[in-house]
């Protein structure tokens, strides 16, 4: 496919869209599919055919429509006449039995179903700013043409035909984009390091090993708009001088794997990946590597080991993968959402993204909003929006009229943010100041029924199970910390145990080999900092204020007594 | 065929080994494709018996220790057979907060199978996964590969019950 063919294909598909009176997008993400979206889509397609609306109505599967707890979700875009603006309607909790009346009342009669309709002018939708998720609802992730109509691969075209590799890196630097996997390393700086690294063979890896429990941003992007990620990787390949890319994706995401496979095949078939892309001298191949359930493989050196077919254990850095990575080659590793941000930055210029967000954190962030919040689902908001806005405006507040207790970010390496910090702007720096970090985007809202000791114990158990065992502080430390936390939770702990926990937290943070061990004490340290009273209630009064923990029979040991 | 001879005798004519060979051939017997090959093997055999690990080791020209090391490192690779049916409970944070633990406890009480265990009649295996990313439906269980959201102890036990009927 050359430049003219790309633009012609995009225009043809856009023309078809303009001609359709209704476009009916059924959310076909894993969540909605589990709620029967596949059957709903089939029923709608049959209903449309029976009503003789073929050609006037397009029924298609699309990416995450946001309100994941209220699926199956269906979005209808209707047009009055050829030139009229498209008016969207969103339906929630749509079942197969609703398909017939949706066709009859809405598509034929023009009257939306009142009992299934969700208002789109509420903050949950209106306050979002979509960069990475802009195609959700508009495109069918299983059809390349559908992605092309939303501008897919036009960023790659521009990069290859109008910009030098240095200029591409320059645009990324100018955009202020930072790594969306959690650590927030400046993307432009990473790209330029790999671009400058010696060697005529380099590799690009997309880290799609989204392991944080409670996080599904990357799953949603890969399921909803896989071509965007492939395009971002190809642009990166051009910028740093790589001709090979890998997507390392976790085995727990079968649907995302399937969609990626389809997307890679389609792109190869049309020459958007492969040799001499857009008739330039640029070659770029992308292969999939499927993980097998190891959280530590989200760490970049462990990920590289896994791609090489070995046990996913990390190694010391430096040298960083940018210099010595996969098979010893200079390797660029970015997260799914980071690559997903790249195509619009190249299409619109770096200044476009830099105009969003805060001083130090540009652009938007996708969050998986879950837990005790009314509107659970996927949101993309400008950096710097406050927690209060995200949780109480977009999220609609706390479920069941309960009280907000804390927000947990950063997964097992993160921390908890208590109520006094609700007005904190959510960006990389602010979160660090209160003892947590941005993380990949899991935002778990906790109400007063959650015990913070129990939560800390949960995350420590996770880290204990997922520790690869290579370094002692993490392997042994997570076991000890988890045992101490269980003792505290069950009323067998003492204040000396709390001091020991704090001591071990420092030790693990300072001496572990990789981010898993360094981050493992995060939830403990942050809950000890913000919810010390709860810990004290467990050890002094043998009482769980949230009523979660069951106390072991007997009295606590006196402080300082040796354990076993 | 670069796999050493004598395979027919070793594999007892099991055609699954032929398909495993094909999977290795597709990867050009590259050692770095070990995870892909193990995924393929598990798909064919349901788990990774020692005979299969040895076959893969020969095919990719790797020491068996390396193959076993990788197979035992990753959670998704199973070294023991599973039951006919599988009920995997998600213990991601959202599911855990929403009562995933209770689902597991219910299964254990009713069927005597804890996490990673199979009932003695071989009908039901209980698994645990740490987040499958459908947190909006918490708590979630996966029943023979199908995601079931919003489960309670009772609703889950009802769905599993039929599996153990004689």
pLDDT of A513-560, one tens digit each?
999 999 999 999 999 999 999 999 999 999 999 999 999 887 655 555
- 3-state secondary structure labels for all residues of B140-165: CEEECCEEECCCCHHHHHHHHHHHHC
Determine contact: B73 vs chain A, CB below 8 A. yes
Question: Which of A219, A294, A263, A251 has its CA nearest to residue A462?
Answer: A294
Per-residue pLDDT at A141 exceeds 60 = yes
**CA dist., res. A208 & res. A448, Å (int):** 33
* Interface contact flag, B35 A290, Cβ < 8 Å: yes
Least confident range of A317-331, A548-562, B88-102: A548-562
C-beta of residue A407 within 8 angstroms of C-beta of residue A444:
yes
Q: Which among A30, A212, A309 has the least Cβ separation from residue B147? A: A30
Structure tokens, A360 = 């130090």
CB count within 10 Å of CB A511 equals: 14
What is the pLDDT, as a whole number, of residue A562?
Answer: 47
> What does the pLDDT average to over B41-51?
95
Nearest residue on chain B to A211, judged by CA atoms? B131
State the pLDDT at residue A558: 55
The β-bridge relationship of strands B141-143 and B124-129 is unpaired
Minimal C-alpha gap between A308 and chain B (Å): 5
Task: Judge whether residue B51 has pLDDT over 80.
Answer: yes
Kindly give, in sequence order, each residue whose CB lies less than 8 Å from that of residue A25, ignoring residues fewer than 6 positions away.
A60, A61, A62, A65, A74, A75, A76, A77, A137, A138, A140
Q: Which two tokens stand for residue A411?
A: 């997964």
Number of H helices, E strands in chain A: 23, 14
Q: How far apart are CA A526 and CA A193, in angstroms?
A: 34
Nearest to A446 by CA among A380, A381, A369, A384: A369
Record the tokens describing residue A528, joined without a space. Answer: 């000890």
User: What pLDDT, on a 0 to 100 scale, did the predictor assign at position A71?
Assistant: 86
Q: Is the pLDDT of residue A81 over 50?
A: yes
Query: Is B94 within 8 Å of chain A by CB?
Result: yes
Q: Chain A: nearest CA to B12, how far in angstroms? A: 29
CB contact under 8 A, A295 and B97: no
Enter the tokens of residue A12. 């043809």
Chain Cα centroid distance, residue A153: 22
Are the beta carbons of A213 and B94 separated by less than 8 Å? yes
Interface of B with A in 121-140 (CB under 8 A): 129-138, 140
- Total H helices, total E strands in chain B: 8, 5
**B131 vs A contacts (CB less than 8 Å):** 211-216, 252
Cβ of A555: how many Cβ atoms within 10 Å? 9
Burial (CB count <10 Å: 0-12, 13-18, 19+), residue A500: middle
Nearest alpha-carbon partner for A336 in A303, A306, A294:
A303
Q: What is the CA radius of gyration of chain B?
A: 19
With CA atoms as reference, the chain A residue closest to B137 would be A69
Buried b (16+ CB within 10 A) or exposed e, B25-54: eebebeebbbbbbbbbbbebbeebeeebbe
Nearest CA to A131 among A381, A481, A302? A381
Across the interface, whether the CB atoms of A293 and B69 are under 8 A apart is answered: no
Rounded to an integer, the average pLDDT of A485-504 is 97
User: Residue B3 pLDDT more than 50?
Assistant: no
Mean pLDDT for the stretch of residues B98-116: 93
Which chain A residues are within 8 Å of B69, Cβ to Cβ?
Answer: 311
CB contact under 8 A, B35 and A291: yes
What three-state secondary structure class fits A497? helix
Pair A121, A147: CB distance under 8 Å = no
Note whether B147 contacts A33, CB cutoff 8 Å. Answer: yes
Summarize the confidence of residues A353-364 as an average pLDDT. 95
Q: Is the pLDDT of residue A271 over 70?
A: yes
Interchain CB contact of A377 with B (< 8 Å) = yes
State mean pLDDT over B12-18: 85
Q: What is the pLDDT of residue B36?
A: 94
**Tokens 């109008």 label which residue?**
A162
Write down the pLDDT at residue A80.
Answer: 72
Name which of A133, A210, A229, A184 is nearest A442 in CA terms.
A210
Cα-based distances in Å from A554 to A56, A490, A557: 73, 10, 9
Residues of B in Cβ contact (< 8 Å) with A259: none
**Structure-token match 């390396």, residue found:** B66
Residue A430: which of A367, A383, A377 has the closest Cα?
A383
Least CB–CB distance from A30: residue in B36, B38, B133:
B133
Mean pLDDT within B35-47: 95
Banded model confidence at residue A99, pLDDT cuts 50, 70, 90? very high
Whether A213 and chain B come into contact, CB under 8 Å, resolves to yes
Report CA dihedral (A235, A236, A241, A245) to the nearest 10 degrees.
-100
Comparison of pLDDT for A419 and A82, the residue scoring more: A419
What integer pLDDT is reported at residue B7 of this predicted model?
55
Which one, of A260, A311, A308, lies nearest residue A286 by Cα? A260
Chain Cα centroid distance, residue B86: 9
Q: Which two tokens stand for residue A394?
A: 């977009």
- Note the pLDDT of residue A436: 87
Contacts of B146 in chain A (CB under 8 A): 34
**Of the partner residues B30, B33, B135, the one whose CB lies closest to the CB of residue A216:** B135
pLDDT at A239: 98
Q: What is the pLDDT of residue A277?
A: 97
Q: Does B96 touch chain A (CB under 8 A)?
A: yes
Are residues A370 and B69, on separate chains, in Cβ contact within 8 Å?
A: no
Q: How far is B55 from chain A (nearest CA, A)?
A: 17
Cα–Cα distance, A179 to A215 (Å, whole number)? 16
Beta carbons within 8 Å of A217's beta carbon, 6+ residues apart: A210, A336, A337, A366, A367, A368, A378, A440, A441, A442
Q: Report yes or no: A368 at the B interface, CB cutoff 8 Å.
A: yes
The answer on pLDDT for A564 being more than 60 is: no
Indicate the average pLDDT of chain A: 94
What's the CA angle centered on A487, arms A482 and A492, to 5 degrees?
Answer: 170
- Rounded Cα distance between A131 and A338, Å, is 11
The mean per-residue pLDDT over the stretch B128-147 comes to 91
> Does residue A370 sit at the B interface (CB-CB below 8 Å)?
yes
Indicate left, alpha or beta for A363 from its phi (over 0: left) and psi (-120 to 50: alpha).
Answer: left
Please check whether residue A407 touches B, CB under 8 A.
no
Interface contacts A/B by beta carbons within 8 Å:
132
Closest chain B residue to A377, measured at CA: B136
Q: Which residues in A lie closer than 8 A to residue B137 (C-beta atoms)? A: 31, 34-35, 68-69
Q: Do B75 and A310 touch (CB under 8 A)?
A: no
A22-75 residue pLDDT tens:
999 999 999 999 999 999 999 999 999 999 998 899 999 999 999 999 989 999
Mutate to test the interface with A, among B33, B77, B93, B143 (most CBs of A within 10 A): B93
Q: CB A213 to CB B148 under 8 A?
A: no
How crowded is residue B85: how many other Cβ atoms within 10 Å of its Cβ?
A: 17
Residue B5 has a pLDDT of 43
Which residue, among A388, A386, A547, has the nearest Cα to A452 in the 3D structure? A547
| B10: pLDDT strictly greater than 90 | no
The order of strands in the sheet holding A203-208 is A285-290, A244-249, A203-208, A331-335
pLDDT band at A450 (very low <50, low <70, confident <90, very high): very high
Whether A210 sits inside 8 A of B39 (CB atoms) is: no
A458/B contact by beta carbon, under 8 A: yes
Task: Tell me, yes or no, if A414 comes closer than 8 A to chain B by beta carbon.
Answer: no
**SS3 state at A427:** coil
Report yes or no: A409 and A431 within 8 Å, Cβ to Cβ.
yes
Tell me what the mean pLDDT of segment A476-504 comes to: 97
Distances (CA, A) of A232 to A132, A227, A334, A335, A337: 11, 8, 10, 11, 10
Size of chain B, expressed as the number of residues it contains: 166
Q: Judge whether B91 is closer than 8 Å to chain A, CB to CB.
A: yes
Paired strand residues for A367: A379
Of residues A31, A294, A408, nearest to B136 (C-beta): A31
Indicate the SS3 state at residue B11: helix
Of A291, A308, A459, the CB nearest to B32: A308
Are residues B130 and A462, on separate chains, in Cβ contact within 8 Å? yes
Partner residues linked to B115 by β-bridges: none
CB contact under 8 A, B136 and A33: no
| Residue B136: predicted pLDDT | 87
Q: Test B76 with A31 for CB contact under 8 angstroms.
A: no
Helix axes A532-540, A452-466, angle to 10 degrees: 100
In this predicted complex, what is the ipTM?
Answer: 0.90
Interface probe for B, chosen from A212, A221, A252 (most Cβ of B below 10 Å), is A252
User: Is A314 in a helix, a strand, or coil?
Assistant: coil
Average pLDDT over residues A324-336: 97
The verdict on B29 touching A (C-beta cutoff 8 Å) is: no
8 Å CB contact between A394 and A364: no
Half-sphere exposure of B54 (CA within 13 A, CB side): 7
Q: Is the dihedral of CA A397, A399, A405, A410 positive or negative?
A: negative
Does B64 reach chain A within 8 Å, measured CB to CB? Answer: no
- Inter-chain contact B134–A290, Cβ cutoff 8 Å? no
- Candidates B76, B105, B135, partner chain A, best to mutate (most A CBs within 10 A): B135
Q: Name the band, by pLDDT with cuts 50, 70 and 90, for residue B13.
A: confident
For A151-164, the DSSP string reads: TTTHHHHHHHHH--
Q: What is the structure's pLDDT at A555?
A: 64
């Amino acid at each position: 496919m050359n430049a003219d063919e790309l633009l012609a294909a995009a225009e043809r598909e856009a023309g078809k869209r303009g001609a359709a009176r209704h476009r009916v997008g059924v959310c076909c993400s894993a969540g909605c599919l589990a709620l029967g979206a596949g059957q709903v889509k089939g029923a709608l397609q049959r209903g449309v055919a029976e009503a003789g609306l073929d050609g006037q109505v397009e029924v298609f599967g699309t990416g995450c429509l946001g309100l994941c707890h209220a699926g199956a979700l269906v979005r209808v875009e209707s047009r009055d006449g050829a030139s009229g603006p498209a008016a969207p309607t969103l339906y929630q909790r749509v079942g197969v039995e609703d398909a017939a009346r949706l066709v009859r009342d809405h598509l034929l009669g023009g009257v939306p179903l009142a009992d299934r309709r969700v208002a789109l002018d509420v903050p949950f939708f209106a306050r979002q700013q979509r960069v990475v998720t802009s195609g959700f609802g508009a495109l069918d992730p299983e059809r390349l043409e559908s992605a092309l109509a939303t501008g897919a691969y036009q960023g790659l075209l521009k990069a290859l035909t109008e910009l030098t590799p240095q200029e591409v890196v320059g645009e990324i630097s100018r955009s202020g984009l930072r790594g969306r996997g959690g650590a927030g390393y400046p993307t432009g700086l990473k790209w330029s390091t790999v671009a400058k690294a010696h060697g005529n063979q380099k590799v690009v890896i997309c880290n799609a090993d989204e392991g944080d429990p409670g996080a599904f941003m990357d799953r949603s992007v890969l399921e909803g708009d896989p071509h965007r990620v492939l395009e971002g990787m190809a642009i990166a390949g051009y910028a740093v001088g790589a001709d090979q890319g890998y997507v390392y994706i976790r085995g727990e995401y079968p649907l995302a794997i399937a969609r990626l496979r389809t997307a890679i095949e389609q792109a190869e078939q049309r020459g958007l990946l492969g040799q001499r892309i857009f008739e330039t001298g640029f070659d770029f191949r992308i292969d999939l590597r499927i993980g097998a359930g190891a959280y530590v493989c989200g760490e970049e050196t462990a990920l590289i080991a896994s791609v090489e077919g070995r046990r996913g254990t990390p190694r010391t850095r430096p040298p960083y993968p940018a210099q010595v990575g996969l098979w010893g080659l200079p390797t660029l590793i970015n997260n799914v959402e980071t690559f997903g941000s790249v195509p619009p930055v190249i299409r619109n210029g770096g200044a476009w993204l830099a105009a969003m967000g805060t001083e130090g954190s540009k652009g938007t962030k996708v969050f998986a909003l879950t837990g005790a919040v009314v509107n659970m689902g996927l949101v993309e908001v400008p950096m710097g929006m406050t927690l209060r806005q995200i949780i109480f405006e977009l999220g609609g507040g706390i479920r069941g009229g309960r009280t907000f207790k804390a927000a947990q970010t950063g997964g097992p390496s993160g921390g908890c943010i208590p109520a006094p910090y609700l007005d904190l702007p959510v960006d990389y720096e602010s979160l660090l100041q209160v003892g947590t970090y941005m993380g990949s985007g899991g935002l778990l809202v906790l109400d007063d029924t959650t015990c913070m000791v129990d939560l800390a114990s949960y995350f420590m158990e996770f880290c204990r199970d997922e520790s690869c065992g290579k370094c002692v502080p993490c392997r042994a430390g997570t076991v000890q910390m988890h045992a101490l936390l269980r003792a505290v939770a069950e009323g067998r702990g003492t204040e000396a145990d709390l001091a020991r926990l704090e001591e071990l937290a420092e030790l693990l943070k300072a001496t572990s080999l990789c981010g898993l061990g360094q981050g493992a004490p995060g939830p403990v340290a942050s809950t000890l900092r913000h919810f010390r009273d709860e810990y004290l209630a467990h050890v002094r009064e043998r009482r769980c204020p949230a009523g979660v923990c069951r106390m072991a029979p007997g009295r606590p040991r006196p402080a300082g007594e040796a354990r076993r | 065929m670069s796999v050493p001879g004598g395979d027919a005798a070793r594999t007892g004519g099991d055609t699954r080994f032929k398909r495993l060979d094909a999977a290795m051939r597709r990867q050009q017997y590259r050692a770095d494709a070990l995870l892909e090959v193990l995924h393929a093997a598990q798909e064919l055999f349901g788990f990774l018996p020692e005979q299969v690990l040895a076959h893969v080791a020969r095919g990719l020209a790797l020491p068996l220790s390396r193959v076993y090391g990788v197979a035992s490192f990753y959670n998704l690779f199973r070294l023991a057979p599973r039951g006919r049916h599988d009920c995997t409970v998600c213990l991601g944070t959202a599911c855990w907060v929403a009562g995933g633990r209770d689902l597991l406890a219910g299964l254990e009480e009713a069927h005597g199978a804890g996490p990673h265990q199979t009932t003695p009649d071989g009908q039901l295996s209980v698994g645990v996964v740490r987040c499958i990313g459908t947190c909006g439906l918490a708590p979630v269980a996966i029943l023979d590969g199908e995601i079931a959201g919003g489960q309670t102890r009772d609703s889950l036990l009802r769905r599993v019950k039929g599996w153990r009927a004689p």
